[in-house]
Amino acid sequence: MDIYRIYYFSLVFQVCISLGLAAWLWAKAPHQSGIKPLALFCVGIGCWALGQLGMHLGGDSVAALGKRLVNCGPINAVFFLHFVFRFLQRERPRQLLGIYVLGIATLLLVQVLDMGTLAPWLGFERYYFFPVWGAIPGVVVTSISVWAYLLLLAAWPKAAPKQRGKILAIWFAGVWGSGASLMFLNASLGIDIFPYSVILLPGYALLLVFGILRYDLMVVNLWANRLLAWLVLTAITVALASLLLSVAARTGFASLAAVPLWQLWLLGTAMLGVMLVLEGPSRRAIERLVFPGAHLEAGVLADWRLRLDAASSWQDLERIAASTLGAHLRQPMRVVLGAARPAGDGKPGLHCHPGPEKDGEAAHWRTDLMEWEGATPSVTRVGEVFGALLAAAAARLDQLLRYAEHEKERMQQAHLLELGGLAATVAHELRNPLNIISMAAVMSPPETRAEIRAQIERADHLIQDLLSYSGEVRLNPQRVAVAELVQRVAAGHPSQRIELDVDADLFLHIDPMRGEQILGNLIGNAMAMLRGRADPRILVDAQAQLDGRVLLRVCDNGPGVPADLAPDLFQPFTTRRPGGTGLGLAIVRRLVEAHGGTVRLGQRAGWNCCFELLLPGMP
């Protein structure tokens, strides 16, 4: 390939690169320190290369204009010094004004005196020759440039590591630019050697901008990666084009072999450039088609946040999250909340779970992606962003539910204190009349005395239950053997056969008196429901749980609990048997919860009614 064509192509490339970088810097990084002077410096480099092209390839008028563009070097050096001042944050308005006055004065002097002549040299029809007095503006330009590099060198020892990297990049780019432009002076110095180094000049602006901004703008690294890919592919294109022409010449394709190599290379390079430019938009368009919803906008995120925050329960949050993400990605999604990780079923989804609590602080929620291995990076990013919003919504819902539960407990305690005071007053006021009635009935017939005594005992039982439910629960937790506790309670009911299935090595950490009260209430309830049955049976069994608690069951083969009564079974004054006070199960629940446990109506094969208690265990 003709070396002159390569030279001209490098100048065209330099014009495109320099002016393109200047426009990009002005538009994309206006707030970075010193960027505008750097953009003007890139414009100056592009104008210098454009002037070279005008001198070499244009007519006389165009060549004259090109020479004037080449003579703009003094102001370009001022732009570079201005950039260095901004970069080092050493800008002084008066000093900078003096430098601009010097640069503009030198520029006007060069333009008015029409410095330089154009004459044939080597294979160039016109080439720039400096006059003898041209050393004067050359000294000015060199002095300004050297001043800039000395400032950078002086700032090196005290600079931070990141700043040092930028200074090193500027120095490296400066050495590259100076070396590349040095052979431009060959004609003026009488050295008849082709200016090969000028071919490398397009890399000057690229190295300078990349070295300065690579630490501040990630997009610079992205474009640098694309440029390197383009250069590698260009080299491969040249090699393949050369091979193609050689093969064509040997196989009889004379017309193809006659095509100049530089034309094939230029066409291939242009095609590669178009491919690199269109790669991103085409990939995103195809991704939108294959993976709809892969891109996010601010309005979408705000809508997601509002939808997730509207959930009032864990079930609502799961349903809203699954439907929202599924609608955005246009495919079914699975969302699971809770500590236990669900088994995979091949469908993509999210698992939102709390982390460990530290020092009483609320758990930090996080979201893991499930079955997302085949998703593209952008789709995965959608899942990660939605997962972060879901974790934040779960944390807020967790706090709200905790607050609601705490407020409920506080109100219940206040209600119990008020009820306790009322119960104590009622008990005091009722027991005296009941004692008087009992003494007055001494002279009554035996049947009447028995009925009065039964009703008085029932009233007294109601008073005792009311005092027990509304009074303060004081606990003295101890290590209690489950088998011994159950046997003691069962011994109090000798008339009822109670089946026991309890391991002798099983222990609870509870108040033994309260434990007897809990079991006594449950067994008493079961016996009341079994009256009149031909084969009354009661089962008490206990099993250790993995979390250290003990599962205690009290079951009977009575009539069971009606479905309409089950939801309110543990509420005060709810009863399933005639003559009951409706406080027995409420007392059981209060005592169990005071121990940190839970009680519920469960199910067990072969039994009609089964109460399950989870109480703290002890090794």
- Ordered alpha helix ranges (H), 310-360: 314-329
The reply to whether 3-216 and 475-616 are identical in fold is no
d(C-alpha 463, C-alpha 473), whole Å: 17
* Secondary element (H or E) of residue 546: none
DSSP state of 502: -
Number of other CB atoms surrounding residue 322 within 10 Å: 17
67 phi and psi angles, rounded to 5 deg? -65, -40
Domains of the chain: which residue ranges? Answer: 3-216, 217-290, 475-616
Of the chain, the percentage scoring pLDDT greater than 90 comes to: 18
Question: How far from 107 is each of 69, 72, 134, 139, CA to CA, in Å?
Answer: 11, 6, 12, 13
Number of other CB atoms surrounding residue 175 within 10 Å: 13
Homologous superfamily of domain range 3-216: Rhodopsin 7-helix transmembrane proteins (1.20.1070.10)
Residue 599 β-bridge partners: 613
Which CATH number describes the domain made up of 475-616? 3.30.565.10
Question: How far from 350 is each of 38, 150, 529, 561, CA to CA, in Å?
Answer: 48, 57, 48, 39
d(C-alpha 138, C-alpha 144), whole Å: 10
d(C-alpha 394, C-alpha 338), whole Å: 10
Mean pLDDT of 368-382: 80
Q: CB under 8 Å to 457, separation ≥6 — which residues?
A: none
Summary mean pLDDT of the chain: 80
d(C-alpha 444, C-alpha 199), whole Å: 130
pLDDT value for 569 = 81
599 phi and psi angles, rounded to 5 deg? -140, 140
Query: Residue 218's pLDDT band (boundaries 50, 70, 90)?
Result: very low
478 phi and psi angles, rounded to 5 deg? -140, 170
* Secondary element (H or E) of residue 118: strand 117-121
Mean pLDDT of 405-424: 67
103 phi and psi angles, rounded to 5 deg? -65, -40
Q: Lowest-pLDDT range, 213-217, 339-343, 534-538?
A: 213-217
Token readout for 519 is: 């079991």
With a cut of 90, say whether residue 469 has pLDDT above it.
no
**β-strands 117-121, 124-129 pairing:** antiparallel
Question: How far from 192 is each of 4, 123, 187, 595, CA to CA, in Å?
Answer: 15, 11, 6, 101
What is the tens place of the pLDDT at every residue in 135-177?
888 888 889 989 998 998 999 888 888 788 888 888 888 888 8
What SS3 string covers 292-323?
A: CCCCCCHHHHHHHHHHHHCCCCHHHHHHHHHH
DSSP state of 617: B
What is the tens place of the pLDDT at every residue in 120-139?
999 899 999 988 877 888 88
With a cut of 60, say whether residue 257 has pLDDT above it.
no
Token readout for 318 is: 């799961």
With a cut of 60, say whether residue 215 has pLDDT above it.
no
Question: How far from 63 is each of 50, 51, 186, 560, CA to CA, in Å?
Answer: 10, 8, 20, 107
CB 492 within 8 A of CB 527: no
* Secondary element (H or E) of residue 175: helix 161-182
Sign of torsion, CA 240 241 242 243?
A: positive
Ramachandran area for residue 330 (φ above 0: left; ψ -120 to 50: alpha; else beta):
left
**Residue keyed to tokens 């070499």:** 56
* Secondary element (H or E) of residue 406: helix 377-440
Q: CB under 8 Å to 479, separation ≥6 — which residues?
A: 507, 508, 509, 618
Q: CA 132: distance to chain centroid?
A: 66
With a cut of 60, say whether residue 368 has pLDDT above it.
yes
Q: CB under 8 Å to 330, separation ≥6 — which residues?
A: 292, 293
Q: Lowest-pLDDT range, 71-80, 82-91, 289-298, 347-356?
A: 289-298
Query: Residue 115's pLDDT band (boundaries 50, 70, 90)?
Result: confident
CB 614 within 8 A of CB 598: yes
3-class secondary structure, 469: helix
Residue bearing the bigger pLDDT, 474 or 1: 474
Mean pLDDT of 230-234: 64
* Secondary element (H or E) of residue 335: strand 334-337
Among 235-244, 327-336, 537-546, the range with the most confident prediction by mean pLDDT is 537-546
Tell me which residue of 172, 175, 177 sits closest to 214, measured CA to CA: 172
Mean pLDDT of 474-500: 87
CB 120 within 8 A of CB 126: yes
pLDDT value for 193 = 92
Tell me which residue of 381, 395, 396 sits closest to 296, measured CA to CA: 381
Q: Lowest-pLDDT range, 361-365, 381-385, 545-549, 562-566?
A: 361-365
d(C-alpha 103, C-alpha 145), whole Å: 12
Give, in degrees to the nearest 5, the angle at Cα 528 between 527 and 533: 75
Among 21-25, 78-82, 470-474, the range with the most confident prediction by mean pLDDT is 78-82
336 phi and psi angles, rounded to 5 deg? -125, 130
With a cut of 80, say whether residue 512 has pLDDT above it.
yes
